[in-house]
């Protein structure tokens, strides 16, 4: 059973995350459905993609499926993790991807939204970046994505506090494009998508790839990369990482010991 809905109207492809029982947690299964839908819509010559939750959703997505985070000493966010795959796909598909957001967005889902090309959020929606709350050693590509979209002091506050911020604050700090009343969310998104769909798909595909390549040209030495990976390994091998996940399942605040 698909955990998403898909439709294509006037070359605008819409993918609706629709796994309500786990608040659209980004499980491998749900992400697999999203990737297949993106592939099918591009084959049907969609010129814009919209990623959304069902109308009225209180939670856009609860982030990475915590049940799928390994606790046996394996890296929880490797290159082939479904979350990393869908984020790279959003960044690399040759059409603009618009995140149409209502409700709360958590953890890895914040990065998914941030890596969409344009974000239209409803008043009352919120964004929480949660690695520090769960004790998760976030991966380098993910941190770079946050840095690309959010000024460093703001990114640090959001990541260190792991607290939700409002759509209005997200607009102020520049990581959403528009905040609109919930009743106007679909219309505002559709108008934006239609404007883009009337322009040259070839020129837009080139512009998107130019912006991706030029914005990700970040110097990272092999030594720097290895050093960060060794720091991450210490964390996903730590008691704190296991405590973070255990506290989530036991529905209690984590007690981190710093080891």
- Interface residues with ligand LCV (CB under 6 A) are 22-23, 25, 59, 62-67, 69, 106-108, 130-131, 134, 136, 138
For ligand LCV, the closer CB: 105 or 179:
105
In the complex, least distance from residue 98 CB atom to ligand LCV, rounded to whole angstroms: 21
Helix (H) / strand (E) containing 7:
strand 4-9
* List 13, 63, 107, 108, catalytic entry: 108
In the complex, least distance from residue 39 CB atom to ligand LCV, rounded to whole angstroms: 24
Angle at 78 between CA 83 and CA 175, to 5 degrees: 45
Cβ-based neighbours of 62, under 8 Å, separated by 6 or more: 22, 23, 24, 25, 106, 107, 109
In the complex, least distance from residue 134 CB atom to ligand LCV, rounded to whole angstroms: 4
For ligand LCV, the closer CB: 69 or 150:
69
For ligand LCV, the closer CB: 194 or 248:
248
For ligand LCV, the closer CB: 11 or 133:
133
- Is 23 one of the annotated active-site residues of the chain? no
Q: Check residue 78 and report its DSSP letter.
A: -
- Is 138 one of the annotated active-site residues of the chain? yes
* List 13, 23, 63, 64, catalytic entry: 64
Residue 119 CA: distances (Å) to CA of 7, 95, 110, 177, 215: 19, 15, 11, 5, 18
Sign of CA dihedral 216, 221, 227, 230: positive
CA dihedral 6, 197, 61, 167 (to 10 degrees): -150
In the complex, least distance from residue 250 CB atom to ligand LCV, rounded to whole angstroms: 10
* List 138, 197, 236, 241, catalytic entry: 138
Using alpha carbons, select from 67, 62, 151, 56 the residue that is nearest to residue 110.
62
Q: Which residue is nearest to ligand LCV (CB)?
A: 107
For ligand LCV, the closer CB: 22 or 178:
22
Rounded to an integer, what distance in angstroms lies between the CA atom of residue 113 and that of residue 90?
Answer: 10
In the complex, least distance from residue 136 CB atom to ligand LCV, rounded to whole angstroms: 3
Show which residues are catalytic.
64, 108, 138
């Amino acid at each position: 059973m698909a955990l998403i809905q898909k439709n294509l109207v006037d070359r605008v492809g819409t993918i609706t995350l629709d796994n309500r029982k786990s608040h659209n947690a980004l499980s491998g299964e749900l992400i697999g459905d999203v990737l297949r839908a993106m592939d099918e819509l591009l084959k049907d010559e969609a010129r814009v993609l919209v990623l959304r939750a069902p109308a009225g959703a209180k939670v856009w997505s609860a982030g990475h499926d915590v049940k799928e985070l390994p606790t046996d000493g394996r890296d929880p966010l490797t290159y082939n993790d479904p979350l990393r795959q869908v984020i790279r796909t959003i960044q690399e598909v040759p059409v603009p991807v618009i995140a149409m957001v209502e409700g709360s967005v958590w953890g890895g889902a914040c990065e998914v939204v941030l890596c969409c090309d344009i974000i239209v959020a409803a008043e009352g929606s919120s964004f929480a970046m949660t690695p520090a709350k769960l004790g998760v050693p976030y991966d380098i590509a993910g941190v770079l994505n946050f840095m690309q979209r959010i000024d460093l002091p703001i990114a640090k506050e959001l990541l260190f506090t792991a607290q939700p911020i409002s759509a209005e604050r997200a607009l102020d700090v520049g990581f959403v494009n528009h905040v609109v009343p919930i009743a106007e969310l679909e219309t505002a998104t559709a108008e934006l998508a239609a404007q883009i769909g009337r322009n040259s798909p070839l020129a837009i595909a080139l512009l998107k790839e130019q912006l991706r390549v030029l914005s990700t040209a970040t110097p990272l030495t092999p030594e720097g990369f290895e050093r960060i990976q060794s720091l991450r390994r210490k964390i996903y091998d730590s008691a704190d990482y296991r405590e973070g996940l255990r506290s989530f399942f036991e529905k209690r605040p984590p007690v981190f010991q710093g080891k």
